[in-house]
Amino acid sequence: MLLRRCALVTLEPRERIDFDLLDLVEGGGGLAMRSEWVATVPHAAREIGVSAAEAMALGEISPTAWIEIEALEKRHPRELLDGLVAKGLLVIQGSTEDTRDEVVRRTGWRCAAATLHYTSRWHGVDTEAVQRQLSEQYGDALLDKLGPAPPTVRERTTRDRRIPLAAAKPTPLDTLLDRRVTCRNFDATRALGAGEFAAVLYRAFGARAVDDFAPGVQLLKKGVPSAGGLHPTEAYLLVQRVDGIAPGLYHYHAVDHALEPMRLLSADEAAVLARTFVGSQAYFLDAPVFVIPVTRFRRNFWKYRNHAKAYRALVLDVGHLSQTMYLAATELGLAAFITAAVNEVDIEQAFGLDPLEEGPLAVCGFGIRAGERKEVEFDPLHVVWKDG
């Protein structure tokens, strides 16, 4: 049997504090502090407790060369090796764990980025329930608990040393930017027009040109920048109310400017998924279309292999795409939103995505703003809501 360590694993020493009745009885504080090691393994998408001996062994076993278990037994107890295999930290050649671990290797993840990505994914989180728990725990004293917020601007000189800059001459872009307000009040009674739907998708996610950069390498020109012109982030959609398009899950083909149906849904099924995707944030649920930016990691990592900045570039992609979607929607008199408080695991399962190869970093959406404001929106310029 051939073994090797999984491709990516991080080890973190943690301190756990437990109540200790015996310590309390003996006159102590009643708290016992215990040190432990926790391994984070992206291919297994979980944290795993390990002993100090297991942690030491992991540092001594190669992640690249396959080794006969008999050879490893000369340095490590068989029981320890079997435990690491059971935990997925050592993989057996040809096993299911080996197959999943090979996807990590093929995709080209950097260890720190993979750990960040997989430890920040949610599954089944209800943000409304979390807010209720915070309210019950802290009531009106949350600000007292957190302390004052940092100032809006870091001031590096005194006011008299600042160099005033010329005021920008107002242009239509200024008007558009002033009207760009995150929407929390969508009209649940109206469907989004097919033309408006298509226009926003094209302007934010559509490819304006395909460039044959080199044999086997095609780059895309979109309305946003992307590292290396690779544009690895694509749009997956949950459609609730769009004229001429049935409720369901879709993928947007950026080159053909077309929808690829993945699964049709009833209106009720679509509403349930909408709530799940955004962690029950009620003010987004009536948006007629959710746009989920999904990153194909290998498309980026193919060029930027094990690169310290590769994952950061993917996060930037989502920011560029969402802002362009906001502006495209605002120009048409529509409203938009983006949220990072999403249940990534549920989204991956709904669209059939392998999280080692592609996954969502946020959820966006756009549609028609309601005529009545029920939820608070941040509109300090009073451009959208004239009554202030």
Cα gap 109→242, rounded to integer Å: 37
In a shared domain, residues 191 and 335: yes
Residue pLDDT tens, the chain, 388 long: 999 999 999 999 988 777 776 766 677 777 777 788 999 998 887 889 999 999 999 999 999 999 999 999 999 999 999 999 999 999 999 999 999 999 999 999 999 999 999 989 999 999 989 888 888 887 778 778 888 888 999 999 999 999 999 999 999 999 999 999 999 999 999 999 999 999 999 999 999 999 999 999 999 999 999 999 999 999 999 999 999 999 999 999 999 999 999 999 999 999 999 999 999 999 999 999 999 999 999 999 999 999 999 999 999 999 999 999 999 999 999 999 999 999 999 999 999 999 999 999 999 999 999 999 999 999 999 999 987 5
Residue 163 lies in a domain: no
CA contacts within 13 A on the Cβ side of 26: 8
R_g over Cα of the chain: 25
Q: Are residues 194 and 307 in the same domain?
A: yes
In this structure, the answer to whether residues 69 and 197 fall within a common structural domain is no
Q: What DSSP character marks residue 216?
A: T
Are 216 and 102 found together in one domain? Answer: no
pTM above 0.75, yes or no: yes
Verify that 88 and 179 share a domain, yes or no. Answer: no
Query: Is residue 77 situated within a structural domain?
Result: yes
367 touches 283 (CB < 8 A): no
Quote the tokens at residue 335: 């409203």
85 in Cβ contact with 92 (< 8 Å): yes
The domain tally of the chain equals: 2
Residue 235: its H or E element: strand 233-239
Domain end among 83, 107, 131:
107
CA torsion sign for 13, 19, 21, 26 is: positive
Within-domain flag for 51: yes
Q: Is 97 helix (H, G, I), strand (E, B) or coil?
A: helix
Judge whether 380 lies within some domain: no
Whether residue 217 sits in one domain with residue 345 = yes
Of 87, 107, 127, the position where a domain reaches its end is 107
| CA–CA distance, 254 with 232 (Å, rounded to integer) | 11
Is 28 within a domain? yes
Asked whether residue 214 falls in the same domain as residue 335, the answer is yes
Q: Are residues 233 and 335 in the same domain?
A: yes
Residue 291 lies in a domain: yes
Both 100 and 181 in a single domain?
no
203 and 279 both lie in a single domain: yes
d(CA 141, CA 336): 32
Tokens 């900045």 map to which residue?
309
Residue 251 host element (H or E): strand 248-253
d(CA 280, CA 274) in angstroms, rounded, equals 8
**What CATH number does residue 270 fall under?**
3.40.109.10
- Tokens describing residue 370: 């309601």
> Which domain-ending residue is among 64, 87, 107?
107
CB-count exposure of residue 222 (10 Å: 0-12, 13-18, 19+)? buried
Residue 154: inside a domain, yes or no? no
Distance CA 28, CA 284 (A): 51
Whole-number Å distance between alpha carbons of 94 and 62? 17
The answer to the question of residue 216 being in a domain is yes
The two three-digit tokens of residue 165, written as one number = 């800059």
Name every residue whose Cβ is closer than 8 Å to that of residue 105 and which is 6 or more positions away in sequence: 7
Q: What is the Cα–Cα distance from 249 to 46, expressed in whole angstroms?
A: 28
Retrieve residue 226's tokens.
Answer: 């992307």
Q: Which domain holds residue 204?
A: 171-367
207 and 336, same structural domain?
yes
* Domain shared by 99 and 190, yes or no: no
